[in-house]
Amino acid sequence: MKLLRKLIPDFLRQWDLELQRSHPRLWSTRIHHHLWFLLLINALVFALGLLIRVTTVKFPDPEDLFGWIMTPTVVYAAFWVYKVVLFTPERRFGIRKPFAEVGELGVHFISLLLIMTIPYNLALTVTYRIANLMTDAEFAEDVDTLNKNAYLFISGDGRLFSAPSNSYDEDAQPYLTSSSSHGYFKDLDEYVDRNRYVEDGPPKVGQIYEDHITAYNEMADPDLESYDPVRAAFHRVQIDSIERTCPFYFTAHGPFTPQAWGGIFLSDSLLEVGYVDLVRSGRPVDPEAVRRTIELGHVYSAYVTDRSVDDVLREFTQRRSSSFNLDTADQQIRNMWEAKTWNYDFLEWDTLIYVLFISCFLLAIVISIFKNLYWQPLLITAVVCLLLPITLLVFALILDEAVRNVNEEDILINTYYAIALFLAAWVFLAPRTSTYGTVRAVLAILANLIVPFIVFFTLTLLHIEWVIFGLDALQDSLYVLRDTAAFNDPALAALEMEVHDLEQRVQMILTVVFWANIALYVIALHSFFRATYTRMMALPERK
Amino acid sequence: MLATRIREVTALAAGTDLSLATRRLMDLCDEFPVFHDLRGAAMALRADYNMGRELGAAEMSGASGSALAERCRQLAAAIGQRSTGTAEVGHAPAAEVVFQAQQLTKAFRSGGHHFQLGPIDLELRTGRIVGVVGENGNGKTTLLRQIAGLLDHDGGTLAHPHAGTDPYRIRQTIAWIPQRSVRWQGTLLQNLRFQAAVHGTLGAANEDRVLYTLHRLGLTRFKDLTWKQLSSGYKLRFELAKMLMWRPKVLVLDEPIANLDLQAQQLFLQDLKHLAASQRDPVAVILSSQQLHEIEAVADDIIFLKNGKAVYSGAADSFDRDRNSNVFELRGVFQRAQLEQALGAGAILHIDDTGLIFRLTTPRTVGPQQVLKAIANADLEVSYFRDISTSTRKLFHQDP
């Protein structure tokens, strides 16, 4: 503590004194110390972010870093909460101002959000450094080079099954042991068309392929009654033939751009096009392209196997799996792509709003209330909130009829409403019951946690369970129409549009209600609860 | 009122009790606007006294003590000079009723044991101190907790003429100092500043109030200490200091001097009396204690509780005024027979030997002088003597 005090500069001591004398509520939030220490911590974290080793070959995953730094962040947050809850005007029966209480809630909320700058600082610093290891243009060029030559390095036999270890049919032996990796297809149209199902039309190659695989799997397994190695070898020949002519590769991608590229190599059909072109043209493989690819593999990964250009060319010519493995380089490039496009969970809008914002808001509420309380009520509240769902679960297990339908969401929602009902009942029972300060405090915490979401939860429940917006009925009508009407029936399109509109409206209503409920709580109910609570706490004990 | 106070400080300044002199000089300059410009000088005097006196020493000594005494005299003279020709300002503040209880009762039933406090009638007035005395388990703390608004009552009525019926407002006018102080966080200085600020004393006034209180209660050198670092006595003074920050109307103290040494008890009770009778912010004080003689010395009114009932409730100096007998406690190197012989049969109604002391009951006509003279004549060695004829201590020895 003494060391921490030494870190406080004179001007901040002066502010501290001024706030202590003239703005006790603001002083008690410790926002000034909080900002100062966050500045220091963030400077350290930033320095740490700069010191962490970041090279193309090796760098940490920013999401992992975000997770690791959360531990010291939580420790700091706990320390901050401890400091913040020590001084409160209400506990000293000081002057109460409703809007000051809202302001206090706001300051706590901002303080909590600011604490989260610590993990974001580290993760974003490292992300920025990863993203700037090379320019986008250089990165795109490397990716393109690797993409264009990736077919030279296809490893493994890569298909759906491997050859059985024992074979009974010598005729089938060459097929069973052959590699089917370097497939090509004879007809692009057939490739494109291979899976498109047309009713009553001739079976497509994709369907035939699946049938052969199913048959092979049933006949090649000695443990099954259908075991028949000869017929299995036959199916294997068919499969191999299809694989050679129509490999089942899918998606195609363009060159890397931070916005559009999905971080996936061109390992699919376009690669095969390049391969087929090469084979058809009869051109020799360019050794320089192979050398460059090997070189790039080493640039992005320390774990790619050490192979010469000749090794690669020989394996390619012999139609063998390449022993030069680019997978680790591939993974590293995907990681760099994530950094360049800032594509992380902790930066998703949903995470920011619904995880960060809501959890900080809830914590701010708890701190605002907790400032007027002592540890005991808070712990009792925590136990109540834990015991209720456990009790519900036990009941659900006892009544095994119910347990089939009970899941975590049901338990949580039932807990939520059980607490809400208990609070509602207590309001009427209070005048006739013995009331202790601790009970009041527990009830106050529960009320503050229940109320900000009660309208939203209730509306959502009514929407899902009681279908108050009629969305299910409309969707049912749509399903019926889809089964009966023609594909291009205008009524179908109109109904689809109507369902879409209603979904959008329901979503909008729920969102508005959610935020309105929170706003109502912040503007009016929080002050009301605190005023009621402090009034209750001032009442004498009945015992 | 002012003249009395000036005479008091002049006399004190001429004496040797620098502690009391500096405190009363501060009080005078703070309470009467006509001396506000001397407030700084009084505060500096007190600060120098606090810092100059050795920790634990009874009084300042040596050259510094003499110099301080001289400064006290100079300030007292300046005050005296200022008051010459000044119209008499400030009458003794009218004792306002700040708390009333009528037929107050509270019952507890636990494990077959039943206890009922009351019914009790009580009125607290600003500037007056009420002492609640009685043996353990007779309802003193229960009564004080009810007055402080911490415990509900079963019967009777409570009224807070200054605060209405809003419980928060009521609690804003009552300061509760429990026997064991509740742990607080931060430094003493931080707490005082915060306490003053949340009750509306802001900015420079806040600093002034805090400094004044620190000096006045001799807490200056402890201002940066935390709860753990303070002794029980200073914790209690801190509680008093906190109270001074927001000037409540009622001050309720439960066994405040139980853990204090004799000197600290004297100092505390002295301050309590001065603060209660403050010209500017008089406060009604009610306190419980087992130190009967100290409480009787400081209290204006006494409530004696026995088995939850107020056996006596009234002015401290009116207790048993219409008695038929006197009661004395004495101890010495003599036997009961020697005492009887020394006093003679006509002077003794009853002698009770507790094993530690003799409790002597005499006719009303036999006063303490006669008893002491008789003992001296008999050449008996006395080590302890107390006249408890008008003390509620007598009630401790009555069977229920």
Q: What is the per-residue pLDDT across B207-220, written as a single tens digit (0 to 9) for each?
A: 999 999 999 888 88
Q: Residue B394 pLDDT > 80, yes or no?
A: no
Residues A186 and A80 in one domain: no
Cβ separation of B151 and A96 shorter than 8 Å?
A: no
Chain A residue closest in CA terms to B191: A87
Rounded to two decimals, the pTM is: 0.75
Grouping H, G, I as helix, E, B as strand and the rest as coil, residue B204 is helix
Angle value at C-alpha A130, between A124 and A136, nearest 5 degrees? 115
Q: Burial of B253 by CB count in 10 Å (0-12 exposed, 13-18 middle, 19+ buried)?
A: buried
* Partner residue opposite B151 with nearest CB, options A22, A27, A541: A541
Testing the interface with A: which of B144, B146, B168 to mutate, by most A Cβ within 10 A?
B168
Domain boundary (B260, B287, B317) is at B317
Phi–psi pair at A95, nearest 5 degrees:
-75, 135
- Model pLDDT, residue A77: 93
Beta-carbon pairs below 8 A across chains A and B: 71
Structure tokens at A237: 């020949």
Cβ separation of B199 and A27 shorter than 8 Å?
A: no
Residues B65 and B195 in one domain: no
Residues A48 and A60 in one domain: yes
Domain presence at residue B91: no
Residues A74 and A52 in one domain: yes
Residue that wins the pLDDT comparison between A130 and B29? A130
Angle value at C-alpha A251, between A249 and A257, nearest 5 degrees? 140
Residues B26 and B120 in one domain: no
Structure tokens at B308: 């939850």
Confidence band (pLDDT; 50, 70, 90) for B86?
A: low
Residues B359 and B304 in one domain: no
Domain presence at residue B287: yes
- Model pLDDT, residue A480: 84
Q: Residue B232 pLDDT > 90, yes or no?
A: no
Domain boundary (B317, B337, B368) is at B317
Interface check B308 vs A, CB under 8 A: no
Domain boundary (B272, B302, B317) is at B317
Cβ separation of A93 and B168 shorter than 8 Å?
A: yes
Residues A359 and A407 in one domain: no
Q: Note the pLDDT tens digit of each residue in B330-368.
A: 888 888 888 888 888 777 888 888 888 888 898 888 888
Residues A52 and A155 in one domain: no
Beta-sheet pairing, B155-159 with B97-110: antiparallel
- Model pLDDT, residue A267: 36
Half-sphere exposure of A306 (CA within 13 A, CB side): 1
Which stretches of chain A drop beneath a pLDDT of 70? 1, 151, 154-207, 209, 239-280, 282, 318-321, 372-375, 377, 392, 396-408, 430-437, 487, 543
Range(s) of the domain holding residue A123: 1-133+345-372
Residues B43 and B169 in one domain: no
Cβ separation of B185 and A87 shorter than 8 Å?
A: yes
How close B108 gets to chain A, by Cα (Å)?
Answer: 8
Chain A residues close to B200, C-beta within 8 Å: 95
Starting from the edge strand earliest in sequence, which strands make up the sheet with B350-353, in order?
A: B350-353, B358-363, B325-333, B381-387
Q: Burial of A300 by CB count in 10 Å (0-12 exposed, 13-18 middle, 19+ buried)?
A: buried
Residues 62-91 of A with CB under 8 A from B: 86-87, 89
Phi–psi pair at B282, nearest 5 degrees:
-65, 150
- Model pLDDT, residue B398: 58
Beta-sheet pairing, B309-315 with B381-387: unpaired
Cβ separation of B151 and A27 shorter than 8 Å?
A: no
Range(s) of the domain holding residue B68: 2-83
Cβ separation of B194 and A542 shorter than 8 Å?
A: no
Residues B166 and B290 in one domain: yes
How close A46 gets to chain B, by Cα (Å)?
Answer: 32
Instruction: Note the ipTM here.
Output: 0.81
- Model pLDDT, residue A273: 58
Residues B115 and B235 in one domain: yes
Chain A residue closest in CA terms to B185: A86
Chain B residues close to A539, C-beta within 8 Å: 152, 167
Nearest to B127 by CA among B212, B236, B6, B31: B31
* Partner residue opposite A20 with nearest CB, options B145, B153, B190: B190
Chain B residues close to A373, C-beta within 8 Å: none
Q: Burial of A66 by CB count in 10 Å (0-12 exposed, 13-18 middle, 19+ buried)?
A: buried
Residues 209-268 of B with CB under 8 A from A: 246
Q: How far apart are CA B299 and CA B128, in angstroms?
A: 7
**What CATH code is carried by the domain that includes residue B360?**
3.30.70.100
How many domains, in total, are found in chain B? 3
Residues B42 and B140 in one domain: no
Residues A408 and A504 in one domain: yes
Confidence band (pLDDT; 50, 70, 90) for B74?
A: confident
Q: Residue B170 pLDDT > 50, yes or no?
A: yes
How close A96 gets to chain B, by Cα (Å)?
Answer: 9
Residue that wins the pLDDT comparison between A425 and B99? B99
- Model pLDDT, residue A106: 92
Residues B175 and B261 in one domain: yes
- Model pLDDT, residue A261: 42
Residues B257 and B312 in one domain: yes
Cβ separation of A540 and B190 shorter than 8 Å?
A: no
How close A391 gets to chain B, by Cα (Å)?
Answer: 32
Chain A residue closest in CA terms to B210: A21
Domain presence at residue B156: yes
Q: Note the pLDDT tens digit of each residue in B100-111.
A: 999 999 988 877
Domain presence at residue B89: no
- Model pLDDT, residue A180: 34
Structure tokens at A526: 């929080």
How many domains, in total, are found in chain A? 3
Domain presence at residue B41: yes
Q: How far apart are CA A30 and CA A367, in angstroms?
A: 13
Q: How far apart are CA B188 and CA B167, in angstroms?
A: 28
* Partner residue opposite B167 with nearest CB, options A86, A87, A538: A538
How close B207 gets to chain A, by Cα (Å)?
Answer: 7
Residues B258 and B180 in one domain: yes
